[in-house]
Amino acid sequence: MRYMRGRGWAAVLGTGPFLLAGCANSATLPAPRESSSSTATATPASSSPCQDADYTSEQRSTGTALKVASVTETAQDGSQDFVLPRPIRDNFPEYAPGPMPEDDRYMQAFEQGAFVYGHPMITLVLEDAVATPVTVTDIRVIDLHTVCLPQGTLVQLGAEGGDEVKLAFDLDADRPVAMTPVGEGEAPYEPYFENNKLTVSVDDPAWLISNFDLSRYARIFHLRVTYVLDGKVFQQVIEPEGGWFRAMPATCPDTNDLSKITEDDSARLAAHRFDEVLRLDHHDPGDGILPIQQIDPQTFSENCLTR
Dihedral sign, Cα of residue 81, residue 173, residue 169, residue 267: negative
Domain region containing 199 = 24-302
CB atoms within 10 A of CB 30: 9
- Does residue 224 carry a pLDDT above 90? yes
5: in domain:
no
d(CA 121, CA 252) in angstroms, rounded, equals: 18
Q: Is 305 exposed, middle or buried (0-12, 13-18, 19+ CB in 10 A)?
A: exposed
Within a domain: residue 10?
no
In a domain, 77, yes or no: yes
In a domain, 114, yes or no: yes
Q: Tell me if 14 is assigned to some domain.
A: no
pLDDT at 20: 28
Number of domains in the chain: 1
How far apart are the C-alpha atoms of 242 and 19, rounded to whole Å? 10
* Mean pLDDT value across the chain: 81
305 or 97, which is more confident:
97
Residue 7 covered by a domain: no
What pLDDT does residue 211 have?
Answer: 94
According to DSSP, the residues that pair with 224 across neighbouring strands are 140, 237
Q: Is 258 left (phi over 0), alpha (psi -120 to 50) or beta?
A: alpha
Predicted confidence (pLDDT) at residue 19 exceeds the cutoff of 60? no
pLDDT tens readout for residues 132-170:
999 999 999 999 999 999 999 999 998 766 668 889 999
Distance of CA 188 to the CA centre of its chain: 18
What is the SS3 assignment for the chain? CCCCCCCCCCCCCECCCCECCCCEEEECCCCCCCCCCCCCCCCCCCCCCEEEECCECCCCCCCCCEEEEEEEEEEHHHECEEEEEHHHHCCCCCCCCEECCCHHHHHHHHHHCCEEECCEEEEEEEEECCCCCEEEEEEEEEEEEEECCCCEEEEECCCCCCCCCCEEEECCCCCCECECCCCCCCCCCCEHHHCCCEEEECCECEEEEEEEECCCCEEEEEEEEEEEECCEEEEEEEECCCCCEEEECCCCCCHHHHCCCCHHHHHHHHHCCCCEEEEECCCCCCCCCCEEEEECHHHHHHCCCCC
Q: Answer whether residue 3 is part of any domain.
A: no
97 close to 278: Cβ distance less than 8 angstroms:
yes
Return the minimum-mean-pLDDT range out of 15-24, 90-99, 137-146.
Answer: 15-24
Comparing C-alpha atoms, which of 280, 13, 251 is closest to residue 127? 13
Is 8 contained in some domain?
no
Tell whether the model's pLDDT for residue 102 goes beyond 50. yes
pTM for this predicted structure: 0.81
Q: Of the ranges 30-34, 98-102, 228-232, 289-293, which one carries the lowest mean pLDDT score?
A: 30-34
- Give me the pLDDT at residue 185, please: 59
The candidate with the shortest Cα–Cα distance to 147, out of 271, 31, 249, is 249
